[in-house]
């Protein structure tokens, strides 16, 4: 039997309680547990009640094989970026309530115009024509579940697709529309040591394809992607482990870099 609106709200409230407290749970109670992606998104939608500001945008989880393996799913998931959890380039954050303690370099797009729900599929070129700017970004995901890999896609969607904190870099000045973003090399370092390298192709084959996936996922859910909102498209390389006191740099070649540091506590 499908979850009722009240059950979805209660499930969301429980997840937000754990998010706020920095605690975890094994699983949602059976009567509140989503069994489908649609039920997971219905729970996630109630997150916006806990934000005093307009929705900042959207994130995509598990757009790379490494990302899918890490959370135990076989395809991407959409989540919300709450304005209160978004920071500027160079921000100093805390890892106190972050259990995953990972950083993920990502391509992010700010929209110039609305893309409204419709029956026909949006194509890449049409989506790109609605983009205002490209940004470098770092996401620090987390989950409210003790064992993320066993939670399953419906519960992880309800859990905001492991959304937690996000750092948005400035709009890039390079002519990114003429560049091969799939081939662009991306590097990540923690404490000045090169941790790993990746490329745009790790994000569903191309960050622009990932953006288009998000637009169509929202369209199927009857949700408009609004002008001014930002979409971050998933990690370009293997998530980088973090510890208190670390500084993370993500380099995107001619597109620039984004930096975030973490306090000692």
Mean per-residue pLDDT, 181-192:
95
Mean pLDDT, the chain, integer? 95
The residue that leads in pLDDT, 25 or 66, is 25
All domains of the chain in start order, with CATH: 54-262 (3.90.850.10)
Mean per-residue pLDDT, 234-262:
96
Whether the model pTM is above 0.85:
yes
Instruction: Please report the DSSP string for 174-230 in residue order.
Output: S-GGGS-TTT-EEEEEETTEEEEEEEGGGTTTSHHHHHHHHHHHHHHTT-PBPTT-E
Whether the CB-CB separation of 138 and 223 falls below 8 Å is answered with no
Mean per-residue pLDDT, 37-51:
96
Mean per-residue pLDDT, 157-161:
98
pLDDT digits (tens, 9 = 90+) for 103-124: 999 999 999 999 999 999 999 9
CA 176 to chain centre: 21
Helix axes 5-21, 37-45, angle to 10 degrees: 70
CA-to-CA distance for 206 and 199, rounded, in angstroms?
A: 9
pLDDT digits (tens, 9 = 90+) for 83-99: 999 999 999 999 999 99
Q: What pLDDT score was predicted for residue 115? A: 98
Mean per-residue pLDDT, 21-33:
96
DSSP, collapsed to helix, strand or coil, labels residue 131 as strand
Radius of gyration of the chain (CA): 17
Whether the predicted pLDDT of 35 surpasses 80: yes
CA-to-CA distance for 201 and 36, rounded, in angstroms?
A: 29
Mean per-residue pLDDT, 149-159:
95
Report residue 39's pLDDT band, with 50, 70 and 90 as the boundaries.
Answer: very high
Q: What pLDDT score was predicted for residue 210? A: 98
The residue that leads in pLDDT, 79 or 67, is 79
Q: What pLDDT score was predicted for residue 259? A: 97
Q: What pLDDT score was predicted for residue 65? A: 75
List the one residue out of 251, 123, 262 whose CA is nearest residue 187.
Answer: 251
Mean per-residue pLDDT, 128-151:
96
Whether the predicted pLDDT of 126 surpasses 90: yes
Mean per-residue pLDDT, 33-60:
97
Report residue 227's pLDDT band, with 50, 70 and 90 as the boundaries.
Answer: very high
Q: What pLDDT score was predicted for residue 192? A: 85
Name the percent of the chain lying above pLDDT 90. 90
DSSP, collapsed to helix, strand or coil, labels residue 248 as strand
CA-to-CA distance for 103 and 248, rounded, in angstroms?
A: 8
């Amino acid at each position: 039997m499908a979850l009722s609106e009240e059950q979805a709200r209660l499930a969301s409230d429980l997840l937000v309680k754990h998010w706020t407290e920095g605690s975890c749970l094994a699983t949602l109670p059976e009567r509140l547990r989503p069994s489908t992606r649609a039920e997971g998104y219905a729970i996630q939608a109630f997150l916006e009640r806990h934000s005093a500001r307009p929705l900042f945008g959207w994130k995509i989880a598990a757009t790379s094989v490494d990302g899918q393996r890490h959370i135990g799913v076989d395809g991407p998931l959409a989540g919300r970026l709450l304005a209160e959890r978004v920071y500027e380039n160079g921000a100093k954050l805390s890892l106190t309530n972050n259990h995953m303690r990972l950083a993920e370099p990502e391509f992010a797009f700010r929209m110039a115009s609305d893309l409204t729900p419709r029956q026909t599929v949006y194509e890449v070129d049409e989506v790109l024509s609605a983009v205002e700017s490209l940004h470098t970004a770092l996401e620090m995901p987390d989950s409210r579940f003790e064992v993320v890999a066993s939670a399953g896609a419906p519960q992880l969607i309800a859990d905001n697709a492991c959304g937690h904190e996000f750092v948005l870099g400035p709009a890039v000045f390079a002519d990114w529309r003429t560049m091969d973003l799939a081939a662009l090399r991306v590097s990540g370092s923690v404490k000045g040591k090169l941790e790993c390298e990746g490329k745009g192709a790790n994000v569903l084959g191309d960050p622009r394809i990932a953006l288009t996936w998000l637009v169509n996922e929202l369209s199927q859910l009857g949700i408009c992607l609004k002008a001014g909102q930002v979409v971050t498209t998933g990690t370009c390389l293997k998530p980088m482990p973090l510890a208190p006191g670390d500084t993370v740099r993500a380099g995107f070649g001619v597109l620039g870099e984004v930096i975030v540091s973490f306090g000692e506590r």
